[in-house]
Chains A and B, each alone.
Chain A
Amino acid sequence: MKRISDNTAGKIKLTILRVVVYSILIFLCVLCLFFFYLMVINSTRSNAQLATGFSLLPKENFFKNFINAWNDSSINIPRGMLNSLIIALSTAVITTYFSALTAYGVHAYDFKGKKFVFTFIMAVMMIPAQVSALGFIQLMTRFGLTDSYIPLIIPGIAAPVVFFYMKQYMESVLPLDVIDAARVDGSSEFRTFNTIVLPMLKPAIAVQMIFSFVSSWNNYFIPALLLNKADMKTVPIMIAQLRSADYSKFDMGKVYMFILLAILPVIIVYIILSKSIIKGVTAGSVKG
């Protein structure tokens, strides 16, 4: 008898617990979406409508705001988005390809100093770009590479974190016999890498391309120090510019539209690929 009542008590307790847990989850989701919801709503309201204050309902000025923002004379957002897109796409391709290449070099071949190479890359993995920013800017200025895409793309060749991810991935999916088999068939080492190894790494490459694209798209610190010409500026620089301009003179509908445009590409990628992105978050970190 006691057992049965214990059971019902347990069930009631579990139900209450579930209600609490779902409430917490829903609250956090609302909190995550609330500010972005306001942004989308406000991007549909005119300056006069925005002056009336808070609203949760959309109005009809979305396209007007879009056209105003798109054609703004001081902040050339289409140009900024194009610059950001070129930089982020190239970085994504270069970072993943060369990280896979480097990881393959360490994974598939035995050579003197291999251990040192691996240890070195692991050791420098956590050093942030900010601490060498000064020297980087001086050097790039000396090379005449300010206002250029190059210093924002080519350094992506050396990406220790992506290397580490690729190396781990290879250890689990890339048996060395496959490489030997390719050799027997007379495939050159480069050809083996490009036509046999790379396709086997597709999932890892896809995930890392997304992450490098996003971090390059969002990158603000270094580009802001290197890009001065108006038509070279990337989206984050333009957003920061918006903040330092004389704010009271702005059409607020346009401001919300600028912010929306800045984050929209990433949101679209995320909505399509959220599953593989979330899977990729854990890989490359320590594992239990």
Chain B
Amino acid sequence: MEKQIRRKDGTLKSVSYAKWGYIFITPFFIAYILFTLIPQFLTVYNSFFEHYRVGLQEVGPNFVGLQNYKELFTADPNGTILILKYALNTLVLWVLGAVPQFVIAMLLALFFTSARLNIKGQSFFKTVIYMPNLIMAAAFSMLFFTLFSRVGPIQGLLENWGVLDHSFDFFAHKVTVRGMIALMNFLMWFGNTTIVLMAGIMGIDQSLFESATIDGANSVQVFFRVTMPLLMPIFVYCLITAMIGGIQMFDVPQVLTKGDGVPNGLTRTLVMYLNGYLRAPNYGMAGAVSVIIFIITGVLGGVVYKMLSAQYKDQSKKKPHRERKGNVL
């Protein structure tokens, strides 16, 4: 950007402001390189070394090539490949929470945006359903533990009603522990998804709904033929960011099961596995697990990036100064 500026003595001087661009973005890049990029390289680097501690004795670091990865995918004495088991756990826990999350959020978004239904008290409902999203996951999980523990009030209530036997333990069954984690994840995220999908629906040209209705389409047809196709980019964006969030699942199952992933490690997630190696500490294995998680998020993140940048180019071409609150609620 070159600018002509008139000096006091009347001569013209050319000023370039480019250097200010560099100055302003420098702190970001210094911080990024120092706290993310170098650690990222170190993490990958570590994954090629044998480096752990047994008691007070430190082993390594010795270069071992792909040995850590090999070990990661080797079956334990029971014949299970732990990382696959934990990846499957993570997937199951995510699906159990995400399916109701997206179904309910979609329904609520349709309810809230329907002119025919004309729902009153929307801001109250939105305020309540979004609230769990801001709650500290560790505290929410601790709360569930106390409420559902053997001596907790929920167990007591269900015993009084005769639904449960006193010998029942919510934390001894795969179904109930997974159910609790899924319920918490559902509660924490469905409000958020509702609000984003709602904004997406409100961004669709209203006249399309009207003309579809005039042409005789019923609401189910309108949903599948008009709303859903136009909402697809936002829906997929939500879905993939939710998946990336799902891969990071840690606080809730960690606190709920004290890191054990009861019962039998069936609620242990990938990041809980990583956490175990970080604490052991076994840097080599922690590095290898990190790389695996990185690859999974990288693939999913790539899709989000593609969508965002396509969207971005599209918008800046169409209207350089687009209206701010165009479709934000």
Closest-by-CB residue of A relative to B39 is: A135
In the complex, what residues of A have CB within 8 A of residue B46's CB?
A: 134-135, 138
Report the separation of the CA atoms of residues A114 and B24 in the bound assembly, to the nearest whole angstrom: 12
Contact of A171 among B125, B141, B316 (CB under 8 A): B316
Contact of B255 among A122, A129, A240 (CB under 8 A): A240
Distance in angstroms from B297 CB to nearest chain A CB is: 6
The dominant DSSP class at the B interface is helix
Closest-by-CB residue of B relative to A55 is: B153
Contact bitstring B264-276, A, C-beta under 8 A = 1, else 0: 0000000100110
- A135–B254 touching, CB < 8 Å: no
Closest-by-CB residue of B relative to A112 is: B18
- B143–A18 touching, CB < 8 Å: no
Contact of A266 among B38, B135, B153 (CB under 8 A): B135
Closest-by-CB residue of A relative to B2 is: A110
A182 at the interface (CB under 8 A from B): no
B220 at the interface (CB under 8 A from A): no
| A250-288, CB < 8 A from B | 252, 255-256, 259, 262-263, 266-267, 270, 274-275, 277-279, 281-283, 285-288
A28-B129, A114-B21, A169-B324 are contacts. A243–B43 as well, Cβ < 8 Å? Answer: no
Distance in angstroms from B261 CB to nearest chain A CB is: 14
- B35–A136 touching, CB < 8 Å: yes
- B22–A218 touching, CB < 8 Å: no
- A132–B241 touching, CB < 8 Å: no
- B40–A131 touching, CB < 8 Å: yes
User: B107, B294, B308: which has the most chain A beta carbons within 10 Å?
Assistant: B308
A144 at the interface (CB under 8 A from B): no
In the complex, what residues of A have CB within 8 A of residue B138's CB?
A: 218, 220, 236, 239-240, 262
B106 at the interface (CB under 8 A from A): no
Contact bitstring A207-232, B, C-beta under 8 A = 1, else 0: 00000001001101100010000000
Closest-by-CB residue of A relative to B144 is: A35
In the complex, what residues of A have CB within 8 A of residue B167's CB?
A: none
A39-B143, A218-B136 are contacts. A101–B40 as well, Cβ < 8 Å? Answer: no
- B21–A32 touching, CB < 8 Å: no
- A172–B125 touching, CB < 8 Å: no
Contact of A189 among B20, B298, B309 (CB under 8 A): B20
- A134–B286 touching, CB < 8 Å: yes
Task: Tell which of B25-33, B71-79, B81-89, B209-217 binds the partner.
Answer: B25-33
Distance in angstroms from B324 CB to nearest chain A CB is: 4
Contact bitstring A140-180, B, C-beta under 8 A = 1, else 0: 00000000000100111110000100000101110100001
In the complex, what residues of B have CB within 8 A of residue A29's CB?
A: 125, 128-129
B304 at the interface (CB under 8 A from A): yes
A76 at the interface (CB under 8 A from B): no
* Count of chain A residues with a beta carbon within 8 Å of a chain B beta carbon: 107
B64 at the interface (CB under 8 A from A): no
- A135–B40 touching, CB < 8 Å: yes
In the complex, what residues of B have CB within 8 A of residue A85's CB?
A: none
B160 at the interface (CB under 8 A from A): yes
- A172–B321 touching, CB < 8 Å: yes
In the complex, what residues of B have CB within 8 A of residue A133's CB?
A: 39, 43, 274, 278, 290
Contact bitstring B247-282, A, C-beta under 8 A = 1, else 0: 110110011101100000000000100110011000
Contact of A122 among B145, B287, B305 (CB under 8 A): B305
Report the separation of the CA atoms of residues A275 and B127 in the bound assembly, to the nearest whole angstrom: 8
Distance in angstroms from A144 CB to nearest chain B CB is: 15
Report the separation of the CA atoms of residues A128 and B190 in the bound assembly, to the nearest whole angstrom: 21
Report the separation of the CA atoms of residues A128 and B243 in the bound assembly, to the nearest whole angstrom: 12
B126 at the interface (CB under 8 A from A): yes
Contact of B40 among A119, A132, A154, A266 (CB under 8 A): A132
Contact bitstring B310-329, A, C-beta under 8 A = 1, else 0: 01100110001111101111
B228 at the interface (CB under 8 A from A): no
Task: Tell which of B52-60, B90-98, B198-206 binds the partner.
Answer: B198-206
Closest-by-CB residue of B relative to A252 is: B146
- A122–B278 touching, CB < 8 Å: no
- A136–B39 touching, CB < 8 Å: yes
B123 at the interface (CB under 8 A from A): yes
A189-B17, A247-B149 are contacts. A286–B237 as well, Cβ < 8 Å? Answer: yes
- A236–B139 touching, CB < 8 Å: yes
A172-B324, A243-B258, A263-B136 are contacts. A101–B36 as well, Cβ < 8 Å? Answer: no
Closest-by-CB residue of A relative to B234 is: A286
B156 at the interface (CB under 8 A from A): yes
In the complex, what residues of A have CB within 8 A of residue B108's CB?
A: 24-25, 28
The 9 listed contacts between A and B (C-beta, < 8 Å) are: A25-B111, A32-B132, A54-B157, A98-B27, A101-B24, A105-B25, A126-B305, A242-B142, A243-B255
Q: Which 6 A-B pairs have the closest CB atoms?
A: A105-B24, A288-B203, A135-B42, A109-B21, A135-B39, A126-B301
- Beyond the given A135-B40, A138-B39, could you list 8 further A-B residue pairs with CB under 8 A, ordered by the A residue number? A50-B153, A126-B305, A128-B248, A134-B42, A137-B278, A218-B135, A220-B250, A282-B199
